[in-house]
Structures are given as structure tokens and as C-alpha cells.
Structure 1
Amino acid sequence: MEENTDEVMNRSEYGGSIPVDNVQALASKDLKDIPIRYIRPEIESEEVLTDESLQIPVIDISKLAVAGKPGYDDELDKLHLACKNWGFFQLINHGITESIDAMKKVTEEFFKLPLEEKINCAQIPSSIEGYGQAFVVSEDQKLDWGDMLFILPLPIPQRNMRFWPQTPPSFRTTLDEYSKALQGVSMELFKLMSINLRIKPATLSNMYENCTQGIRMNYYPPCYEADKVLGLAPHSDATGITLLVQINEVQGLQIKKNSKWVPIKPIPGSIIVNIGDVMEIMSNGEYTSIEHRAMVNFERERISIAAFHSPGVKAMIGPLMELVKDKTPKYKTIDSEDYVRLVVNSKLDGKSLIDHMRI
């Protein structure tokens, strides 16, 4: 788990987030009024579906281990439709439960630490990594009711251990194992998606071989005005695919379907997978990234871990050549560095990034 100083320094060119108050500390005070920067008046007018029968597809990846076995073709079709029509699905029988459970434990322990210990991993002005908040780009934008620890475990030579907690003592080895386990799952999904997109099975996995992986641990404190704040503003993920696990049973993830918000009920032990903007662009719109947001609970904290997977730094971000031979490209092609700068210096705002990339 050594870091390469030269590579780490290069990351500082991308910029970071403006420092803001720690929300966990703010929530622990006896507040009479929630600060105005956290209040979101638009929430009241947005419709949330209460019908629990509308849920994202469930994909059993164990049925996709060997082509031709009973259930393989049906599950592959289900995966294709999930990526195409939903942009979200729950993955079961993934085989990495042990790594997930260990990561859940150390993440909970980290957020229970006193603030003075957590800020040993605080963000610095030039970096997107560390403990704090992300995507704060102006002094007057609305803020999310949540804190996060964001780390870039991959590629390994670019790790910056300054941001990796040393407490609890098992945090670093646990995160290292978790990173490898999720990378393995994501590479399997890329192969299956390539098959469904009718391109060479290794096309996507080759692009993600030296992938950039970011792991974001989210802590959403309870809020007595939870119906007026957001844990995470509506957005689509800027990356290829995201693998999310929920640490406790407090729900909060909602996705936008037909202009309405649909609450997601996680299956215990599952991984929630969603298509990011890069995958929408690469598939030339065949797969779709979906807006989602995180809500806050009135009485209980909510903790989750999201792992983002993006192509290697030398990849070009644009529609795959194999998919636009006989079709018009719907999106621009830019290099990875320009794309990352665009992401880091933008606030979360629906699908504005896709709008920027659209031709």
C-alpha cells in the first residue's frame, strides 16, 4: 500500500472543495434553527412514490458465472434491461460478503471517532480526497446534510496514504481488501455489459483495467427538519459504474423514474449498482445514468459506502467506436484529464454533466 509521490502530486492539479462546517458536529448541537444554506424549499413540491411494489431489478450474478448454464440467458437479458430501462439494480450472490461486513465495521468505527481525530484525514484545498464535503464550489450554494470520507484506492501507485485513517487500526488493510473485492465484481459486470452491448467481451474491462476507483463513505446525521434538507443533492454519477452498500437499515436512497422519486429498499447483503455518466456516453445512450438523491432521517443516522469506477487516466471519454460505426455519436469525446477537471469543478446538479457532453 505504498504511494507514488509524483503521481499523487499530479492529482492536485484537479482542484478540490471549499471547506464548510462539519455536519455531524452541527447536528450534535441543540439547534433551534437549521442554517439556511441546508434548507431546500424545492423538496416540498416534488412527488415521492409510496407504492413499494415499484422496485429496481434484482440480478443474481451467480447465475452468470458460466455461459450456457440454466438461467444464464434470462439473467443476462434481465441485466441488459436493468441497465437500459432503470440504470439501477441490486446485485445478489456476489461472493464478497466478508469484505463488505469488515468494511461496514471499520466505517462505523471511523465516524464514531471524536472530530479532532477524524480531521487528521481532512481534505486539503488542492485535493478531492479526505474527510469533509465534496462539490462545494461557491460560498453561497446549498449544502448537503452529510459528511464524507473520500479515498482513491486505485490505481495503487497513486494512493495518498495521508487520507487513509490509522484509527481503527484495521481500517487500511480492510479498505485495501474491500477495494480489490469491488474491483473484481466491477470487472465481471463490465464483461457482461460488453456481451449485452454486442461488442467484444474484453472491450470495457480493458478500458477499466487500470481504473480509477474512488470510495466514498457517507455519514448523514439525523435532522429534526429532515423533510427540508438533503443528505446528497440530486445528481447522476459522473463515473462508469457505482457499487453502493448500506451500512445500517436506515433507508434514504431515492431514484428519479418518470419525473417522480422512487425510494429504494435495499435487500440485506446486496450491492446496489448504478450506471454512471461515463457508461451512458460510452454506450452512446444505450445505457442510461439516472438521477438519484439521499434523504435524511428524523431520528437516526444513515451510513453508506459508494465505490465509483472510472476508466484509466489514458482512456478517452466518448462513445465506443464499435457502437457508432453505423450510427451518429450522441456525445463528444474528450480525454480523461479534461473530464475529471470538469467533474471536480462542478456542483452536483442533476444530469448537467451529460448535458455538457451531449452533441
Structure 2
Amino acid sequence: MASKASLEVSSLVVPSVVELAKESSTSIPSRYLRSDIEKAVVPDGDRVLEIPVIDMQKLVSGGPNNSEVEKLDFACKEWGFFQLINHGVDSTLLENLKAEIDAFFKLPMEEKKKWWQSPGNAEGFGQAFVVSEDQKLDWGDLFFMVTFPRRLRNPNLIPSLPSPLSESMERYTSDLNNLSTAMLEKIAEALHMETEEMTEFVGEGRQTIRINCYPPCELSDQVMGLTPHSDATLITILLQLNDVDGLEIRKDGKWVQVQPLPNAFIINVGDILEIMSNGRYRSIEHRGTVHPVKERFSFAAFFGPRLDGELGPAPSLISEQTPAKFRRATVQEFYKGLFARRLQGKAYVDTFKIQQD
């Protein structure tokens, strides 16, 4: 099994955007200002985008020919995003987590330095995918760490978090680990894969979390909270932590905003699932925007396969009629290439495509 050290990445340490936001908007460094941001459209006049809604209780309780499994297949194939309700994660835990994370990000900078990223390690406070001194930066701070399997955890992170946040994080990430396992089983069913095939591919799995804080910015139309990208995961489970919307997805070539249901999870197909499904499911570009006067928080949990495995289309989905659309690679090779580059839409997963005659 790969060691934790083998996944440490080249990440340049950058300033805290939360601290920069406390200063005048006229002092925003040019590295954060962008002139090429595509504006989002508002469908049907004043309505936000309504992505599919999946009921987890119906998904797991239905027998053969479960219509909720068919809805899941449609959502993954046609949208790449869906909202999950009745997911079983305690609502009181979610509310406590929201308040505790808000307090964590509001700690004085001197105290937060205990958890700040160090050169070459992406875990802790900071930004991700910063690989050059001149690339544009996102208007936001993150807190990133490996959470499962437990033996890969940084011992200086979860145990050192303020109480009761450390206890809430332990319970929440464990609940999401269980939920992701159940969800991937149903995705395998929707794809008509053998359950054992998914189980073998995932193995002990890998969960990482990214908590995002996007401070307000008067020049919100000139900064980006999170660069347009697709997730290099099997699936991602996202929880909006306050009532400020900002998630936008590229649907039919246009950026549109998603409005989450209260305490629902937003789940999206990742690049690895696109590869494994041989392109039946597609990861979708999405981005995080910034509000001019309100702070925004979100919590993303990423789920990937075991680190010592091989990545490629599931053998049961390959036939003479449906040849492989993606080349095979080790999971280690996939992640090494990912962290060596900046975020840029779906450019990375596209490098694994096989050119068809």
C-alpha cells in the first residue's frame, strides 16, 4: 500500500484571503483579479437550476426494478449532479458542524497558523493546486485533510482541532464514509456492474475533505471563489454550510446556479467514475462564486479508490460494441499527475481519453 508521504504534493503557500478581505477592495492584489469570467445565466427569468433529487431511503429500500435506481442512473448520465434527501445523517449534527466550522474560520490568524499548510503539503489551511508564482488565485481559503483510512491521517490535524469541532468532524466524516459506500453500491447497480467489481476497485477507499470559506468581495464579478473544474473523484458529497448560494455548474455550455435544499447533500460524478463507467456517466465542470457582501461556506467530501489499484473502465462495461474510451493507469499515476497541475476545467481527465478512429 502506498504511504501517505507518496501523495504529498507541490503546493506553494499563499496568503490568507480571509485576512486580505478585511482590507479595502482597492488593495486586492492583481493575482486575484480576472477579466475572463463567464457570467452565469438565470433560466426562465428568475428561477435557479433545479437539478434531480434522489431519495436515499427509496434508493436502498426498493426491490427489483427500483424506479429510484433508474432516477439515479438518469441523474448521473444526463446531469452529473443530484441532490440527496433522506440521507440518514443527523440534522442536529449538521447544524452543530455548521456553527463550529464558522467559529473555526473566525479564529485569530495567529491561532490558525497552527494548522496552516507547509510547503509541499496540501493539508491544513491555505489553497490547493497552486503550482506557479504567477497563476491566478482563488478568492477563498480552504481547510484540507485526509480523513480515511485513518492510518493515513495527519496526527496533528483532527485531534488538535478545537472541541467540539474535532468530535463532530470524526462523527460526520465516518457517517459520510458509510453513505458513500452505500451510494457507490447503488451506482454499480445502475450501471449493471457486478457489486464485487466496484467493491474490489474501491478497496479500503480514500476520503479527503475540503472546507471552503469565500469571503465577500466588492469586486465579486472580477474574482473567482473556486476555479472551474471537475472533481478527480468517484463521487463528491457537498454540504452548503450557510444560506449564501454560489455553486454553479456548466449545463448545456452555460453557467447556471444551483440552490441546495435545506440540509440536503449535493452529490456529483467525478472524473474517476467517468473513466470507470466508460463515459456513461460524466463529470461536470463547476465553480464557486463570491458574494459582494456575504461570506460563504461549503464542505466537500471526496471519495476515491484504494491507492494501490489500477484505474480504467470496468471490464464488465467493455465489449466489442462498447470499446474502452479511456486508457488504464495506476491510481498513483493518476493522482501524481493531478496534483502537478493547476485546475483547468476537464483538461486533466481528457488526457486519459483514447482517440477513437
1:333 Cα deviation (Å)?
0.8
Aligned to 1:68: 63
Q: Distance in 1 between matches of 2:108 and 2:26?
A: 23
Aligned to 2:112: 118
User: Structure 1 residue 9 and structure 2 residue 5: aligned?
Assistant: yes
The partner residue of 1:334 within 326, 329, 332 is 329
For residue 66 of structure 1, what is the amino acid of its counterpart?
A: S
1:50 Cα deviation (Å)?
4.1
After TM superposition, the structure 1 = structure 2 runs for residues 151-190 of structure 1, keeping only pairs within 5 Å, are 151-164=145-158, 166-190=160-184
Question: CA deviation digits over 1:11-62, x for unaligned, max 9?
Answer: 33xx23111111000001123242211112112x544234326311000111
User: Structure 1 residue 23 and structure 2 residue 4: aligned?
Assistant: no
Q: Is the 2:185–2:195 contact (alpha carbons within 8 Å) kept by the matching residues of 1?
A: yes
For residue 7 of structure 2, what is the amino acid of its counterpart?
A: R
Q: Distance in 2 between matches of 1:123 and 1:67?
A: 45
Q: Distance in 2 between matches of 1:253 and 1:217?
A: 14
Aligned to 1:358: 353
After TM superposition, the structure 1 = structure 2 runs for residues 239-250 of structure 1, keeping only pairs within 5 Å, are 239-250=233-244
TM-score (norm 2): 0.94
User: Structure 1 residue 86 and structure 2 residue 79: aligned?
Assistant: yes
Q: Answer with 251-260 or 313-322: which moved more.
A: 313-322
List alignment gaps of at least 5 residues for structure 1.
1-5
Q: Is the 1:121–1:164 contact (alpha carbons within 8 Å) kept by the matching residues of 2?
A: no
1:269 Cα deviation (Å)?
0.9
Question: CA deviation digits over 1:47-103, x for unaligned, max 9?
Answer: 42343263110001111222328xx72211111000000000000000103443332
Q: Is the 1:230–1:294 contact (alpha carbons within 8 Å) kept by the matching residues of 2?
A: yes
1:207 Cα deviation (Å)?
2.4
Q: Answer with 125-134 or 224-233: which moved more.
A: 125-134
Q: Answer with 249-258 or 51-60: which moved more.
A: 51-60
Q: Distance in 2 between matches of 1:255 and 1:344?
A: 22
1:313 Cα deviation (Å)?
0.6
Judged with a 3 Å threshold, the aligned counterparts in structure 2 of structure 1 residues 53 and 133 are, in CA distance, closer, same or farther, namely closer
Query: RMSD over aligned Cα, in angstroms?
Result: 1.8
List alignment gaps of at least 5 residues for structure 2.
none
Q: Distance in 2 between matches of 1:200 and 1:228?
A: 47
TM-score (norm 1): 0.93
Aligned to 2:232: 238
Judged with a 3 Å threshold, the aligned counterparts in structure 2 of structure 1 residues 172 and 16 are, in CA distance, closer, same or farther, namely farther
1:171 Cα deviation (Å)?
2.3
Q: Is the 1:221–1:296 contact (alpha carbons within 8 Å) kept by the matching residues of 2?
A: yes
Q: Is the 1:49–1:260 contact (alpha carbons within 8 Å) kept by the matching residues of 2?
A: no
Task: Provide runs of 4+ in structure 1 moved above 4 Å.
Answer: none
SS of residue matched to 1:162: coil
Question: CA deviation digits over 1:310-352, x for unaligned, max 9?
Answer: 0011221111111113321111111011111111111110001
After TM superposition, the structure 1 = structure 2 runs for residues 247-286 of structure 1, keeping only pairs within 5 Å, are 247-286=241-280
After TM superposition, the structure 1 = structure 2 runs for residues 45-64 of structure 1, keeping only pairs within 5 Å, are 45-51=38-44, 52=47, 54-64=49-59
For residue 65 of structure 1, what is the amino acid of its counterpart?
A: V
Q: Distance in 1 between matches of 2:312 and 2:193?
A: 15
Q: Distance in 1 between matches of 2:230 and 2:159?
A: 28
For residue 51 of structure 2, what is the amino acid of its counterpart?
A: I
Question: CA deviation digits over 1:242-288, x for unaligned, max 9?
Answer: 00000100000000011101100000010000000000000000000
Q: Distance in 1 between matches of 2:43 and 2:156?
A: 44
For residue 284 of structure 1, what is the amino acid of its counterpart?
A: N
Q: Is the 1:217–1:304 contact (alpha carbons within 8 Å) kept by the matching residues of 2?
A: yes
Q: Distance in 2 between matches of 1:145 and 1:208?
A: 34
Aligned to 1:3: none
Q: Distance in 1 between matches of 2:171 and 2:200?
A: 22
Aligned to 1:106: 100
